[in-house]
Amino acid sequence: MIERDDLAAWLRLLETPSIGRDTARRLLAAFGSPQAVFDAPPVALRELLTAEKAAALRSPPPSLDVLIEATWQWLDAGEERHVVALGDPAYPRALLETADPPLLIHAVGRLALLNAPSVAVVGSRNPTPQGAENARAFATALSHAGLTVVSGLALGIDGAAHDGALAGEGSTIAVVGTGLDRVYPKRHLKLAHRIARDGLMVSEYAPGTPPIAAHFPLRNRLIAGLTRGTLVVEAALQSGSLITARLALEAGREVFAIPGSIHAPQSRGCHALIKQGAKLVDSAADILEELRWFDAPDRPSPTTSSPSVEDPVLAALGHDPVTLDALSARIGWPPAELSARLLALELSGDVVRLPGQLFQRLVQA
């Protein structure tokens, strides 16, 4: 566990105005530790910093004592809580290979997962039912294979991926954009508690930090950097998931994408990634093969078939959303009879009703 004096020095360095992460890392490389930075003579600091920044280091931020006490109380409240500093043996090695590793990582849960082999699973906050099912199934399969699934606790694909990964041995890491004493979005409160118990919650932000829009794109670099590859399940052309994919490429990681309907806005980001060189995948086995995960446990790959595949209505549905009238014309059934069959398929989980009176087949990923 980090000592209180060391924690205080790290927080002071982080909170000093005009000293960003890049400058802080240069100072640490030159002097070795935050306290050594503050003990350095002005002439040594002036070799690395402007006069303004060197002066800022000499005066502790006014709210520093409050932040130190709040962070220490949070840390002291449970053995499963951790603060890991850059250079600590527990610091994730994968992040050290990235351009912008955080100076401090706050964590709740199974700290060993920070250095476990992992894959990010990200995507739309408003996925199709099929997309959510794909995220959950792929995450479960990857977790059963021994890979930890990393995502951002957002609504939609992120939540489905965390939920699926908790079913396997690899478990999951949630990288969030708030302090770990808060849960955002609130709808994921129970999920966050499950992850803190059976997986790992991670943030570079101190306890008490509220949801701030600028923090969420920044946390994406940690999602990409912690992992061997990033799977994008569904994403619009302008989405945070594509930012994560770009950061993964910049960090030298693999990028995978699940294709979808050419008519679905949620698939356009994935199709753009595939055009740019991302690996098209339709099963978790594709990811394991690409990562050369030969030592993974011998477990069955996810199936792409449904137990009701022989059903004529399912066969006629195909995989794109379709209206009742169009399906009736396609299969030749009267609308009343077709509606009754579609209702039965909805109840069995094989078909989902979408807005605009559209129906879509739901395939187990």
Half-sphere exposure of 17 (CA within 13 A, CB side): 8
pLDDT digits (tens, 9 = 90+) for 258-288: 999 888 899 999 999 999 999 999 999 999 9
Residues 265 and 230: their CA atoms lie apart, in Å, by 20
Model confidence, pTM? 0.82
Residues 164 and 354: their CA atoms lie apart, in Å, by 23
pLDDT digits (tens, 9 = 90+) for 101-113: 999 999 999 999 9
Lowest mean pLDDT among 2-6, 22-26, 194-198, 317-321: 317-321
pLDDT digits (tens, 9 = 90+) for 239-256: 899 999 999 999 999 999
CA dihedral 87, 154, 282, 357 (to 10 degrees): -170
Q: Is the pLDDT of residue 306 over 70?
A: no
Q: What is the DSSP string of 209-237?
A: PPP-TTHHHHHHHHHHHTSSEEEE-S--S
Q: Is the pLDDT of residue 295 over 60?
A: no
CA dihedral 88, 84, 144, 140 (to 10 degrees): -150
pLDDT of residue 297: 44
pLDDT of residue 207: 95
Q: Is the pLDDT of residue 338 over 90?
A: no
Q: Is the pLDDT of residue 37 over 60?
A: yes
Q: Is the pLDDT of residue 337 over 90?
A: no
**Do the beta carbons of residue 165 and residue 272 sit within 8 Å?**
no
Q: To the nearest whole percent, how much of the chain has pLDDT over 90?
A: 75
What is the DSSP code (8-state) at residue 150?
E
Q: To the nearest whole percent, how much of the chain has pLDDT over 70?
A: 95
Q: Is the pLDDT of residue 301 over 50?
A: no
Mean pLDDT, rounded, of the chain: 91
Residues 346 and 183: their CA atoms lie apart, in Å, by 33
User: For residue 58, how many other CB atoms are within 10 A of its CB?
Assistant: 10
Residues 24 and 26: their CA atoms lie apart, in Å, by 5
pLDDT of residue 356: 80
| Crossing angle of the two packed helices 324-331 and 335-347, in degrees rounded to 10 | 110
pLDDT digits (tens, 9 = 90+) for 135-173: 999 999 999 999 999 999 999 999 999 999 999 999 999
Closest to 205 measured CA to CA, from 189, 188, 222, 193: 222
pLDDT of residue 320: 82
What is the DSSP code (8-state) at residue 349?
T
Q: Is the pLDDT of residue 303 over 60?
A: no
Q: Is the pLDDT of residue 100 over 70?
A: yes
**Do the beta carbons of residue 204 and residue 98 sit within 8 Å?**
no
pLDDT of residue 296: 45
As beta bridge partners, residue 150 has: 120, 173
pLDDT of residue 63: 92
Average pLDDT rounded to a whole number, residues 73-99:
94
